[in-house]
Amino acid sequence: MVGYRIGIDVGGTNTDAVILDDRLSVVASVKRPTTRDTGEGVADAIDAVLAASGVDPALVAHAMLGTTHCTNAIVERRGLGRVGILRLGAPATTAVPPLEGWPADLREAIGDHAYLLPGGFEVDGRLLAPLDERAVREACARMRGEVDAVAVVGVFSPIDESQEERVAEIVAEELRVPVSRSARIGSLGLLERENATVLNAALMQTLTRMAGGFVAALRARGIPATPYFGQNDGTLMQLEYALEFPVLTIGCGPTNSIRGAAHLSGATDALVVDIGGTTTDIGVLVDGFPRQSAHAVEIGGIRTNFRMPDVLSVGLGGGTIVRTDGNSVTVGPDSVGYRLPEEGLAFGGSTLTATDIALAVGGAEIEGLTAPDVEAGLGSVAWAAMRAILEDSIDRMKPNAAPVPVILVGGGGIIAPAELEGVSTLIRPDHFGAANAVGAALGEVAGQIEKIYRADPSDRRASRADAAAEATERARLAGADPATIEVVAVEELPVAYSDGTAVLIRARAVGRLAA
């Protein structure tokens, strides 16, 4: 029996859906406007792709969703849960309290329930301060009924998780709310790791609501599929794992496009340029997967240190507004977004957009539309400006000065010229407009671990084996078939300010979807 899979990607302008067969070939792809209530847009996209494919819903075995829902919740400060913060770091870290530097509106959205308690470790693993369980219970008593989730953050907890684990047990006893532990989310830096953990806790109920609507839409249509969510490294995680780590969905939009571009084009190493209705996202494809950022990432004005894709976003898309002021032309960065079919000149509206420019200069064609009447000089100047934005952005992401292959995807890809400076080959694969949904459906599941070990520098085999085993277990928990899991990378990094026996080991394991 053929087992189909549905991939859905919810963007700021459009919601894309595809159906793949058991050979991962595209059976059908559709594009529907993203709605204010994202669940309605997802349901519409599912109905449309089922109708386009003729596939029996009962034969869909897996359903994958990539969504910007959590990102939007942070940026727009809506739908976030109230978070209690337990930092285990007194008296050493009292100079910088939790949420220091956070925007006032975001602090207000998650509530004022931060407690700095005794605890933590030194960088070499020595005890900084013993855990005060009575203080933890007293903090829980003050938070009872006031928070939806709790973030537990210990000083250097990636070196020793024992205090965080014990505090999580106490919170479960006292409050019965979800707990987000920093050692499982971020790396060494205390404040960045704390920020990521608090955001994760704030998003737990946000993604729970989104997941409920997704599952309900599937079941209402007789689709028995196992639901999965896309995560930041271009792989998948099953529903239960995603609800524990919702922060890992934040960067899945660009990574879905990169993975989908690789699958549709057959390329393994290239730049991927994803042009949507509002922005152009440029990522780097390395061995078939997105390159991860080596730097701290800001989300909604908050500096974090969990894994995220290395992506450059610029304000150029199909709906980008083009303005004139005398002899000067300004392209973006604002956009009409999902309102392009109503507001663009070519569609009968009154706003000049990047799509109108592409049509006017003959750089693109859209079936059923006539090129708008744009003065020739204006069109050529705006077209050159759009090209310059793309070329400059590609140049910033190239590994060196040599021309590179570029895979062009996204519904707004029609605004890109056929040739670009610094590009050796410009690839526009079939179904390029739905590459993000294809990437969401591809179906590899990964587990990753970053952990500090103390061992003799001459023999760290046991430490590497332990990290590999934990990455394998995380891949299994995320939904991978245990028989297919392989450890694909184990990396050692020195730990600053240590005596030389400490090492940070990163391990990554990947497997296929469990049946």
Residue where a domain terminates, one of 181, 203, 225: 203
- Tokens 């009962």 correspond to 58
Residue 394 lies in a domain: yes
* Burial state string for 387-414 with b = 16 or more CB within 10 A and e = fewer than 16: bebbeebbeebbeeeeebbbbbbbbbbb
Residue 493 lies in a domain: yes
Model confidence band, residue 496 (pLDDT cutoffs 50, 70, 90):
low
Does residue 176 register a pLDDT over 60? yes
| Predicted pLDDT at 249 | 84
Per-residue pLDDT tens digits for 352-385: 888 888 888 888 778 778 888 888 788 888 888 8
Residue 14 lies in a domain: no
* Full residue range of the structural domain in which residue 181 is found: 78-203
Indicate the DSSP class of residue 501: S
Residue 21 lies in a domain: no
Average pLDDT of the residues in 216-225: 89
Residue 8 lies in a domain: no
Does residue 208 register a pLDDT over 70? yes
Residues 299, 363: one domain? yes
Residue where a domain terminates, one of 434, 452, 475: 434
Residue 90 lies in a domain: yes
Residues 179, 293: one domain? no
Residues 296, 395: one domain? yes
Per-residue pLDDT tens digits for 102-126: 888 889 989 989 999 999 988 777 8
Residues 467, 423: one domain? no
Per-residue pLDDT tens digits for 53-101: 999 999 998 898 887 777 777 876 778 999 999 999 988 888 888 988 8
- Tokens 């939007």 correspond to 72
- List all residues 6 or more positions away from 342 whose beta carbon is below 8 Å from its beta carbon: 348, 349
* Residue 103 φ then ψ, to 5°: -60, 140
The whole model's pTM is what? Answer: 0.76
Residues 383, 405: one domain? yes
Residues 144, 171: one domain? yes
Q: For the packed helices 190-220 and 69-76, what is the interaxial angle rounded to 10 degrees?
A: 130
Determine the residue type at 222.
Answer: G
Residues 195, 144: one domain? yes
Geometric angle at alpha carbon 438, from 76 and 319, rounded to 5°: 50
Q: What is the CATH number of the domain that holds 91?
A: 3.40.250
| Predicted pLDDT at 499 | 63
Residue 326 lies in a domain: yes
Q: What is the CATH number of the domain that holds 373?
A: 3.30.420
Q: How far apart are CA 440 and CA 450, in angstroms?
A: 25
- Give the containing element (helix H, strand E) for 349: none
- Domains in the chain, number: 3
Structure tokens at 83: 């978070």
Residues 385, 453: one domain? no
Geometric angle at alpha carbon 62, from 78 and 257, rounded to 5°: 60
DSSP string covering 236-275: EEEHHHHHH-GGGGTTHHHHHHHHHHHHHH--SSEEEEEE
Determine the residue type at 306.
Answer: F
Residues 507, 396: one domain? no
Contacts 24+ apart (CB under 8 A), 108-111: 109/77, 109/78, 109/80, 109/202, 110/80, 110/81, 110/82, 110/83, 110/198, 110/202, 111/82, 111/83, 111/84, 111/146, 111/147
Residues 107, 152: one domain? yes
Residue 92 lies in a domain: yes
Residues 334, 404: one domain? yes
| Predicted pLDDT at 1 | 44
Residues 361, 467: one domain? no
Per-residue pLDDT tens digits for 444-491: 788 888 777 877 766 778 888 988 999 999 888 888 889 899 888 888
- List all residues 6 or more positions away from 22 whose beta carbon is below 8 Å from its beta carbon: 2, 3, 4
Q: How far apart are CA 168 and CA 130, in angstroms?
A: 16
Residue where a domain terminates, one of 185, 203, 221: 203
